[in-house]
């Protein structure tokens, strides 16, 4: 009763405050506060470290699978299942994470994600047989699904509008850092005995999972989730810390309470009920447009073949004529450095140039890089001499492909998937979109080698290039610009009265 009285008093004080009509990117706000809030940055960094778990698995598995295949005597089909099963079960985690985060909060969902992945990593590192290793990857996959959904959602909800692009792209930065760490560990452990090296490679992931679990204790809860639960006073305290001024904090709280349709008595018992009906069963036209945009960008992110190319890059270059394992891992390290460099550049300039320009640049570059990679691979497949220039061309094309991915689709998918959904639908909507991401990733990863054997690696890369051409057209026509807009303002971009992107240049098609 006392808590409800305090919240009602808090709401009364909010209602008595003058109503601000200026958006958060208005000069009056920008000039009065620093561009970046250090506390918001720390919170975003802590939440985003969860994503290092997926990155590490992608990177380390590309090398570990070579030793697993030899040590456990498994077939190529079993290799595909082993690699892809994590992505398939991560969609289970992504779907469950939306409901879980609405029920227990964003912060504790991050802890749950790290704990689940920790169990999976320990099982993989200690696995005595293929079935136990598979079980470990299934559990780790659920943890990955949780982390992929909750990290960008939490970061988007806590970030100021002017720096949300940078902060919400941090999960992709940590994914890439995880990939690079996996490559380095592949290279480091590759000289150890075959029965030991891959277990150390996979089991090492338990260390960051433990660190993440402890790090989350320093993070506050999402202010938007607190408002949805009727805890306005707590939300105001968090917003004061993550905003540049008291005025901005009050403005953001006012926007959030309006978007939430605040009712302290009703919201106290809210745990995500009714979202499925509004999101899937009977969506409005704006929500339908949002779903198409969110699911579309997640689909093309993985249909591009990025995860599969990283997983199977050693297989691709082994067929190209590089047979020494340490040389293969060396190529991976070079690719990881290129990927890490460009994802950081993209994150730093995302709020300056906007989502659409970088996304269109990245997807166009990916299509061109895949075409060049297809040409190089096709030449090597039909050449007995394996000329060095063709190998170098293929290596450059792979590095260009992952670099353009890191400029566009890599970071922007997480930013866009979380910022376009309305408050009540955000967690479960993002979970649905990211589950599509994981499903497509699993399907591509589990069929990449099989299809490549039928049509060759060169043919596979040409198919992926064609997919990216279609993806570029989709981004141009269906994704409006969201730069410098608050989460509450973005919703208006998808309303009937604003079928344009509000200055981004894309016409929203009738859906």
How far are the Cα atoms of 107, 327, 415 from residue 153, in angstroms, in the given order? 11, 39, 9
Q: How far apart (Å, rounded) are the C-alpha atoms in residues 229 and 78? A: 46
Q: How far apart (Å, rounded) are the C-alpha atoms in residues 371 and 363? A: 12
For residue 492, the Cα-to-chain-centroid distance in whole angstroms is: 24
What integer is the mean pLDDT of 53-81?
A: 84
Q: Give the phi and the psi of residue 353 in degrees, each rounded to 5.
A: -90, -20
The pLDDT confidence band at residue 190, using thresholds 50, 70 and 90, is: confident
What integer is the mean pLDDT of 392-415?
A: 89
Residue 159 has pLDDT above 60, yes or no: yes
Q: How far apart (Å, rounded) are the C-alpha atoms in residues 405 and 97? A: 26
For residue 116, the Cα-to-chain-centroid distance in whole angstroms is: 18
| pLDDT for the residue 263 | 52
Looking at 233-242, 338-347, 364-373, 485-494, which range is the least confident one?
485-494
Residue 498 has pLDDT above 60, yes or no: no
Packing angle of the helix pair 409-419, 423-478 (nearest 10 deg): 130
DSSP of 356-405? HHHHHHHHHHHHHHHHHHHHHHHHHHT-SS--HHHHHHHHHHHHHHHHHH
What integer is the mean pLDDT of 316-340?
A: 74
Beta carbons of 243 and 249 less than 8 angstroms apart:
yes
What integer is the mean pLDDT of 157-170?
A: 79
Q: Give the phi and the psi of residue 469 in degrees, each rounded to 5.
A: -65, -45
Q: Which of 78-90 are b and which e, b meaning 16 or more Cβ less than 10 Å from the residue's Cβ? A: ebbbbbbbbbbbb
217 secondary structure, DSSP code: G
| Cβ neighbours of 509 (radius 10 Å) | 10
Q: What is the largest CA-CA distance in the chain?
A: 81
* Stated pTM of the model: 0.72
Beta pairing partners, 507: 500
Residue 243 has pLDDT above 90, yes or no: no
For residue 406, give both structure tokens: 């890191």
Name the percent of the chain lying above pLDDT 70. Answer: 85
| pLDDT for the residue 358 | 94
Q: How far apart (Å, rounded) are the C-alpha atoms in residues 380 and 382? A: 5
| pLDDT for the residue 38 | 81
| Domain segments of the chain as ranges | 38-498
What integer is the mean pLDDT of 405-433?
A: 87
Q: Which CATH superfamily is domain 38-498 in?
A: MFS general substrate transporter like domains (1.20.1250.20)
Instruction: Give the list of residues 6+ apart from residue 75 with CB closer than 8 angstroms, or none.
Output: none
Q: How far apart (Å, rounded) are the C-alpha atoms in residues 454 and 469? A: 23
The pLDDT confidence band at residue 414, using thresholds 50, 70 and 90, is: confident
Q: How far apart (Å, rounded) are the C-alpha atoms in residues 331 and 438? A: 26
Residue listed under structure tokens 């990857």: 137
| pLDDT for the residue 295 | 95
């Amino acid at each position: 009763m006392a808590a409800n009285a305090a919240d009602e008093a808090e709401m009364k004080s909010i209602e008595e405050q003058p109503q601000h009509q200026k958006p958060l990117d208005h000069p009056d706000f920008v000039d009065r506060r620093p561009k970046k809030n250090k506390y918001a940055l720390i919170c975003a960094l802590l939440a985003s470290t969860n994503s290092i778990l997926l990155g590490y698995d992608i990177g380390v598995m590309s090398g570990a699978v070579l030793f697993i295949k030899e040590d456990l005597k498994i077939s190529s089909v079993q290799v595909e299942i082993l690699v892809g099963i994590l992505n398939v079960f991560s969609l289970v985690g992504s779907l469950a994470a939306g409901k879980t985060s609405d029920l227990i909060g964003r912060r504790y969902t991050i802890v749950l994600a790290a704990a689940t992945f920790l169990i999976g990593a320990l099982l993989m590192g200690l696995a005595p047989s293929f079935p136990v290793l598979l079980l470990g990857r299934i559990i780790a996959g659920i943890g990955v699904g949780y982390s992929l959904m909750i990290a960008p959602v939490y970061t988007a909800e806590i970030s100021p509008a002017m720096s949300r692009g940078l902060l919400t792209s941090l999960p992709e930065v940590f994914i890439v850092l995880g990939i690079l760490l996996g490559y380095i560990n592949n290279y480091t452990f590759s000289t150890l005995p075959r029965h030991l090296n891959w277990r150390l490679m996979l089991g090492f992931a338990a260390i960051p999972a433990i660190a993440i679990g402890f790090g989350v204790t320093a993070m506050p809860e999402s202010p938007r989730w607190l408002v949805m639960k009727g805890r306005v006073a707590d939300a105001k305290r968090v917003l004061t810390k993550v905003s540049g001024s008291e005025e901005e904090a009050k403005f953001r709280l006012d926007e959030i309470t309006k978007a939430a349709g605040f009712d302290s008595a009703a919201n106290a018992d809210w745990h995500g009920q009714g979202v499925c009906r509004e999101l899937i069963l009977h969506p409005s036209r704006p929500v339908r447009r949002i779903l198409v945009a969110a699911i579309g960008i997640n689909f093309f992110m993985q249909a591009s073949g990025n995860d599969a190319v990283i997983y199977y890059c050693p297989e691709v270059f082994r067929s190209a004529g590089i047979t020494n394992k340490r040389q293969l891992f060396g190529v991976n390290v070079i690719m990881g450095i290129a990927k890490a460099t460009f994802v950081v550049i993209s994150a730093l300039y995302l709020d300056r140039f906007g989502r659409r320009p970088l996304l269109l640049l990245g997807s166009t570059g990916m299509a061109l890089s895949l075409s060049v990679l297809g040409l190089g691979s096709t030449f090597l497949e039909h050449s007995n001499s394996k000329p060095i220039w063709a190998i170098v061309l293929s290596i450059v094309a792979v590095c260009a492909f992952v670099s353009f991915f890191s400029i566009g689709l890599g970071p922007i998918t997480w930013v866009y998937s979380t910022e376009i959904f309305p408050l009540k639908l955000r967690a479960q909507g993002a979970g649905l979109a990211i589950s599509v991401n994981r499903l497509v990733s699993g399907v591509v990863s589990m069929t990449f080698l099989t299809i490549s054997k039928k049509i060759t690696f060169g043919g596979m890369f040409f198919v992926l290039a064609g997919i990216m051409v279609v993806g570029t057209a989709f981004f141009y026509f269906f994704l409006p610009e969201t730069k410098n807009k608050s989460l509450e303002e973005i919703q208006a971009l998808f309303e009937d009265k604003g079928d344009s992107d509000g200055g981004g240049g894309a016409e929203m098609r009738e859906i």
